[in-house]
Chain A
Amino acid sequence: DVKVTQSSRYLVKRTGEKVFLECVQDMDHENMFWYRQDPGLGLRLIYFSYDVKMKEKGDIPEGYSVSREKKERFSLILESASTNQTSMYLCASTPGGRNTIYFGEGSWLTVV
């Protein structure tokens, strides 16, 4: 079974803190994604990566950055957390081609 693991399920951070959300997949997938899920807005793409050290902006990249130093790991970074970044963050991966995209269980982030 493909496994996409988000190491932190629930986090509470203070405004201005730097936040790291980690995602690891165990199936050697090239493509990895970070989404944000908010009620009534569905899932919105923050950043994605097609290969190691490659990244592309999604629809809402402001306030976020990413890092992909190894193929299996894709990190989302909030340089200075703000309350409007309180949300559920979902990581996903796929090998590319016409293959299923797999999601992690999500990380609930609350910024106070």
Chain B
Amino acid sequence: AQSVSQHNHHVILSEAASLELGCNYSYGGTVNLFWYVQYPGQHLQLLLKYFSGDPLVKGIKGFEAEFIKSKFSFNLRKPSVQWSDTAEYFCAVTRGSTLGRLYFGRGTQLTVWP
């Protein structure tokens, strides 16, 4: 069965620190990869997505992610976090060339101290 692993459940950083959140998936075929963010009290928002092409994907708010096929990974990065980045981050995967169901990781809570 498809699974998505987010290794960090809770990450605590100070402002201006660099961020990397890990995401690994288990499916060996073609995948479509997403990072979603959920700010406190708000709905899920798409940060970035990868379908094909350049494995380094840039998203909103200075986030980026790198797809490493050999490692089945899609880690999220930001060089310098802000207090406003405090939120829960979800990695998600769909399989194949058409979008079907999304498989989600369990989420990583990021807390940024000012």
> Known: A40-B9, A40-B106, A42-B107. Is A31-B90 also a contact (CB below 8 A)?
no
**Interface locus among B41-49, B62-70, B76-84:** B41-49
The interface stretch among A17-25, A67-75, A77-85, A88-96 is: A88-96
Is B101 interfacial (CB-CB < 8 Å)? yes
**A40–B105 CA distance with the chains assembled, in angstroms:** 10
Check B14 for interface membership: any CB of A closer than 8 A. no
How many of chain A's residues touch chain B, expressed as a range?
A: 20 to 34
Cβ < 8 Å to B, chain A residues 86-112: 90, 92, 94, 96-101, 103-106
For B98, the chain A residues whose CB sits under 8 A away are 96-98
**CB distance B97 to A42 under 8 Å?**
no
Residues of A within 8 A of B (CB): 31, 33, 35, 40-45, 48, 58, 90, 92, 94, 96-101, 103-106
